Amino acid sequence: MNQGSLDGMLVVDLSRALAGPHAGQMLGDLGARVIKVEAPAGGDDTRSWGPPFVTGADGADYSTYFLSCNRNKESIALDLKSDDGRAVLTELLARADVVIENFRTGVMDRLGFSTARLAELNPRLVQLSITGFGHDGPEGGRAGYDQIVQGEAGLMSLTGSRPDDPQRVGTPIADLLGGIHGVVGVLAALVERACTGVGRVVRTSLLSSVVGVHAFQGTRATVAGERPLAQGNHHPSIAPYGLFRCRDGAVQMSVGSERLWQAFCAEFGIAADAPGFGSNAERVAARAETIRTVEAAFADSDTEPLLARLAAAGIPAGRVRSLPEVYAWDQVRSQGLVVEVDHAALGAISLPGPALRFFDVDSDGETERARTAHTAPPTLDQHGDEIRAWLEETADRVPAATGASA
């Protein structure tokens, strides 16, 4: 089975940059047909984001940023301010199961595609809208860029070596979470549509997506009345849990239970019930001393033998890998996290792969059932002629009730 769970569904992706395109890519990974609508002059903004760029056989430079979030899509260039562009988009939306947009609030209305108009055009359509700070509220129309939202949503106050060193997360996590939450909403709306026959508007934002993953840091503020702050590579509520120096580098380790603490101490000759060490709460309160004690025990060990020793003792631990090391790692490749695609201009390239896998289970065991063949991110308008031809061929299959006239 090569098609994926959403085989037969059509997604019209009007979004650009990262949050919306990431959502569209995830739906494409799940088997949906995703048609990316781009502006004729330059296309998606990320086509010009770089370096790095890679030069194709046609002599043009291709952004690796764009390549990261647009696999399994087709591209059509439409001027949505023109009659022709709006007519083609109307035909696409009349056939679609999902539309994705991340314009600023009001832009879709001005283009003539308000939520009400879309529901009239195609009552089964699930509409996903991703904004920076929410579609309403006192700052609803505010433009949202990832790092700005990381700061405004409190994430940067939790990230960094110390409280006066706020740092952004190394990937555009607000954008990515916005896309992921958007997909969750779309899938829920599709399940509901299977019962009601009617689509729904799904809204999320970068702000809500970051606040929505504050987890225990959030309840430290809302319930305990604390002000969580950045404290580097050590957990605020568990000790020892973090990055610890050894002779030739560092290892990461999580001692997440008293059982593990006893095992760790037995392996490294530490008095488990020494003053300040008797419970997790005591170790958290004496974090600096806990870290010094652990690093003293690691001082004469190199990384690899230390990791082997920790594994033998049953202590969760790991190294810090560079991204080239990650993509060369056999465990990563065994999980389908690197996919090979054939790009129209770049030829064979490797991309980070999808995070989900699906299996059928029967008496003979498990059989993987997912999209196994992926397509490369498209060049601008690569599929424009094919999509227009398909619209003409399927014109008589669109129910008149959708109002899908050009």
The residues assigned a catalytic role are 175
- For 101-127, b/e burial (b = at least 16 CB within 10 A) is bbbebeebeebebeeebbbebbbbbbb
- Return the number of other C-beta atoms located less than 10 Å from residue 390's C-beta: 16
Whole-angstrom Cα distance, residue 198 to residue 212?
27
| Helix (H/G/I), strand (E/B), else coil: 34 | strand
Q: What DSSP assignment string belongs to 340-361? A: EEEETTTEEEEEE--S---EEE
Structure tokens at 304: 């690899």
| DSSP β-bridge partners for residue 400 | none
> Is the separation of the CB atoms in 100 and 405 below 8 Å?
no
Q: What stretches of 114-169 show up as alpha helix (H) in DSSP? A: 115-121, 146-152, 155-158
Contacts of 113 (CB under 8 A, 6+ apart): 89, 93
Residue that has been written with the tokens 């397509």 in this structure: 375
Report the length, in residues, of the chain.
406
Whole-angstrom Cα distance, residue 123 to residue 125?
6
- Return the number of other C-beta atoms located less than 10 Å from residue 253's C-beta: 22
Q: What is the largest CA-CA distance in the chain?
A: 80
Contacts of 227 (CB under 8 A, 6+ apart): 221
Angle, helices 173-196 vs 19-29, to 10°: value is 50
How many C-alpha atoms does 23 have within 13 Å on its Cβ side? 37
| Main-chain phi, psi angles of 206, to 5 degrees | -65, -40
Closest CA to 187 of 128, 114, 118, 123: 128
Residue that has been written with the tokens 């940023």 in this structure: 65
Closest CA to 186 of 100, 92, 63, 84: 100
